[in-house]
C-alpha cells in the first residue's frame, strides 16, 4: 500500500467499538478481528475517507508523530487489512 491508494470497506465488514477497542466482523469469512486504540483511530479515519493520503494528513495534523514512521505504519496496517480481506482497493 501507498499513500496514493484509496480503499473501500466492503459491505460484508462491520466495526463496533467495545471497551475502547474496535472489533471488526467480516460476515463473508465469519471471522472477527480486534484493533487496539491506534488501530481503531486509523480504522475510523479510513472509514470516513478511504484516501490513505487524507488519513495521513489528518493523523499527522492531530498527533505529534514522525512523518516517515506514520506513513510506514498506515501503509503496513492497511496492507494487513487488505490481506485479511477487510478492505479493498
Predicted confidence at residue 55, as pLDDT, reads 97
Domains of the chain: 13-83 (1.10.10)
Residues 24 and 38: their CA atoms lie apart, in Å, by 14
Per the confidence metrics, is the pTM higher than 0.95? no
List, in order, residues 6 or more apart from 9 with CB less than 8 Å away.
46, 47, 50, 86, 87, 88
Reading the chain (89 residues) residue by residue, the pLDDT tens digits are 999 999 999 999 999 988 878 999 999 999 999 998 889 999 999 999 899 999 999 999 999 999 999 999 999 999 999 999 999 99
Amino acid at each position: 500500500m501507498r499513500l496514493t491508494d484509496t480503499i473501500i470497506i466492503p459491505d460484508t465488514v462491520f466495526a463496533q467499538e467495545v471497551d475502547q477497542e474496535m472489533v471488526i466482523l467480516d460476515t463473508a469469512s465469519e471471522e472477527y478481528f480486534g484493533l487496539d486504540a491506534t488501530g481503531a483511530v486509523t480504522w475510523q479515519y479510513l472509514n470516513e475517507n478511504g484516501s490513505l493520503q487524507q488519513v495521513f494528513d489528518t493523523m499527522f495534523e492531530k498527533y505529534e508523530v514522525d512523518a516517515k514512521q506514520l506513513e510506514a505504519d498506515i501503509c503496513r496496517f492497511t496492507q494487513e487489512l487488505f490481506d485479511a480481506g477487510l478492505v479493498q482497493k
